[in-house]
Amino acid sequence: MRRVLVSLTMLLLVAASPTVLAADARTSIPEGMCSLWTVRQASSAMGERMEVVSEDPARCVWYSRDDHSGSISTLSAGLWGGDPRSDVPLIDQARESGPRWTREEEVAGVPVLMTDIRRFGRNREISAAAFPDPTTWLTINATSVIAKDVRRAVRRMVELSAPKLATSSASAAPSPIGSSAPPVGSGAPVGSGAPPIADACSLLTVAQVSEAIGESMSQADSTPDQCIWGGDQGTLLNLTILPADAVDATSSMIDRRRSLSPDVEDIEVAGLPGLFEVGPLLGVPSVYIYPSPTIEVELELVSVREFDTRAALEALGALVVPHLGSLPGPSTAPASPNASGPAPSTDAHTGVAALFPDEIGGGPVTLDMQLTGREFLSRIVNFAPMEERVTRALRRRDRTVDDLSLALGSTPAGSVIAAFQVEGGAIRPLVNVLLESLALERTGQDVPAASLAGKDAFGVSGGFLIAGEGVAYPEGEVLWLVFPVGDEQSEILSKLP
C-alpha cells in the first residue's frame, strides 16, 4: 500500500499567514522555556548572576555572567515527553530508567527525583526530574563552580515553575505520536507489510530545528515516517523518510530523484551522497540524503523570511545523518555509481577513525562523520561562548583547536560510537568541557562492571548530536562515547584501545 506523504508545497499559503501552530504541551512551552523563570529568579536560585544563553520551547540554558578562573556555572531546564509508546506513568518511567536517581522528595507538593551531588574540586553538579502533573516531566541540571548549594537551586527552580507548568498542561494531553509504529532501528523490513519503518520526529530535536532555522519551532504534525515543525514566524520544515517500496522504485533512490528532477545539484551531507533542489513550481528548497540505495530522506523548508535556507537544511541534514545507520535496509550496500559522495564504508580510515573496531555484532562498523576541530565548533557547536570554552581549555593544555577531531560511527544494530581525539595531549583534563560541548552530563549512576569490559568508563546522558543514555571512556588522547543498542556495550568497549 502506498504511503500518503504531505508536501510542504501544499502548505505554503499557511506559512504566509500568522497562524499559530499547536505545540505539544508535554514537551514545549510556546512562549519559550525561559519564560517560566525571570533571570533574577534563576540568579537567586544559583546564588550568582546568570544570563540566558540559549532558549527554545523545549529548553533553556543559563551561564554565569562571571568567569571563575576559566570556568562558568551552568543551569539548564527542559521538558521531556517520555516514551510516547508507553502506558507507564512518566514518574515511573523515570524511576525505572536505572539507579541514576538516588533520592525522592516533594517540593511544593510536586514529586521530584534527584541524583547525588557530584563533586569535581569546587564544582558541584546535580540533576533533577519533577512531575507537576501526570503529563509533564521537567528536567533541571545545575552546576556551580563556586561551591554553591545546587540542591537548593533545583528545588527553588521547581517551586517557581510548578504552578505555571500545571496550568499550561491542564488540558488533555495529546495522544502518543506514532504509538503503533516500531522505533527507529527496530528492524522492521522494508516492504514486509510491517508498520512504518521509523519515527521521523526522533531524528531531530526541537532545539536543533529552532537553532538551525533561527526562530522558535515546535512540532506541528507527524506520521511515523514524516515529521513537520512550524515556527512562530511562519516557517515550516518537513522531514520525510521514503523507502523504495512506497513509490515502486526499480532503480536506486538517488537515480530516481535525478530522473524526476533534472535540475538537482549533487552534494555531500556529512559523508553521505545527497542532492539539493529548489522546486520549480514555488521555489521551495529541499535537501535529499541517501543512507542506502533504497532509502531517501528529504528535508524541505518553506519560509516567508529571507535567510540562507540551503545552509539551514544542510546543517540539519548533518545532524540527521548519525541516526540514519539505524534505519532498516541495506545501509552498507554500495551507493549508486553516479552518487556525488562516498557512502559510509568500512574502508581504511585515518586519524581517530582508524581506532574504531572493524565489526560489532558480526557486522561492519560504519563511519558516519569525521570532523576537524574547527568543523566541529563551527558546524556542530555553533555557539560562541561554548566554542570559546573549548578553545580556552585546549590552550591551557598547550593544544589548539587544530589538534582536536571528532569521528562518529554506528553498528548495523544502531549503536553509536563517537570519539574525540586531542592529538599530542592527554584527554582526561578535557573530558568535562568536551561533554559539555555536546550537552552531555555525567549520570552519576553505577554502570554494571560486567558491561564495561574492564574499561574505566562512566555513565552519561542527554546530548544534542548524540542523545540518550550511554558511557564515556577516556583513554590516552581519546574520549570514547558509546550509546549502545541491546547488549552491544560490552563488545564495543572490549574492542576499544
**Do residues 114 and 151 touch, judged by C-beta distance below 8 A?**
yes
Alpha helices in 328-430 (DSSP H): 373-375, 384-396
CA angle, residues 61, 62, 63, in degrees to nearest 5? 130
Spatial separation of the C-alpha atoms in residues 277 and 286, rounded to whole Å: 5
Residue 355 banded pLDDT, cuts 50, 70, 90: very high
**Do residues 226 and 238 touch, judged by C-beta distance below 8 A?**
yes
Spatial separation of the C-alpha atoms in residues 477 and 378, rounded to whole Å: 22
Q: Where does residue 308 fall: left (phi above 0), alpha (psi -120 to 50 degrees), or beta otherwise?
A: beta
Q: Where does residue 453 fall: left (phi above 0), alpha (psi -120 to 50 degrees), or beta otherwise?
A: left
Q: How many CB atoms lie within 10 A of CB 454?
A: 9
Spatial separation of the C-alpha atoms in residues 146 and 291, rounded to whole Å: 47
Spatial separation of the C-alpha atoms in residues 101 and 39, rounded to whole Å: 28
CA distances to 293, 332, 471, 493 from 347, rounded to whole Å, are 19, 11, 26, 21
pLDDT surpassing 50 at residue 173: no
Residue 127: the pLDDT is 86
Centroid of chain to Cα 23: 19
- Each residue's pLDDT tens digit, 427-476: 999 999 999 888 788 887 788 888 899 999 999 887 666 766 889 999 99
Mapped onto helix, strand or coil, the DSSP state of residue 391 is helix
Least confident of 106-115, 325-334, 395-404: 325-334
Residue 274 banded pLDDT, cuts 50, 70, 90: very high
CATH number of 8-20+196-324: 3.40.1000
Tell me which of 46 and 280 has the higher pLDDT: 46
Centroid of chain to Cα 370: 17
Tell me which of 391 and 124 has the higher pLDDT: 391
Tell me which of 304 and 9 has the higher pLDDT: 304
The answer to whether domain 8-20+196-324 and domain 33-168 are alike in fold is: no
Closest C-alpha among 431, 432, 472, 430 to residue 452: 472
pLDDT surpassing 90 at residue 405: yes
- Each residue's pLDDT tens digit, 280-311: 545 778 999 988 877 889 998 888 788 899 99
Residue 247: the pLDDT is 43
pLDDT surpassing 80 at residue 489: yes
pLDDT surpassing 80 at residue 81: no
Closest C-alpha among 260, 247, 244, 270 to residue 330: 244
The domain defined by 33-168 folds into Jelly Rolls (2.60.120)
pLDDT surpassing 70 at residue 21: no
β-pair partners for 302? 236
Mean pLDDT of 413-427: 92
Cell output for 423: 592529538
Tell me which of 228 and 5 has the higher pLDDT: 228
Residue 154 banded pLDDT, cuts 50, 70, 90: very high
**Do residues 285 and 263 touch, judged by C-beta distance below 8 A?**
no
Spatial separation of the C-alpha atoms in residues 270 and 261, rounded to whole Å: 22
pLDDT surpassing 70 at residue 5: no
Mean pLDDT, the chain, as a whole number? 77
Cell output for 266: 549533487
Residue 425: the pLDDT is 92
Give residue for cell 556525488: 340
Residue-wise DSSP of 433-492: HHHHHTTEEE--PPPPGGGTTT---EEEEE-SSS-EEEEEEEETTEEEEEE-STTHHHHH
Type of residue found at 282:
L
Residue 68: the pLDDT is 77
- Each residue's pLDDT tens digit, 220-260: 766 667 788 888 887 888 888 876 544 444 457 888 778 76
Residue 481: the pLDDT is 95
In eight-state DSSP terms, residue 376 is I
Domain residue limits, the chain: 8-20+196-324, 33-168, 351-494
Residue 338 banded pLDDT, cuts 50, 70, 90: very low
In eight-state DSSP terms, residue 430 is G
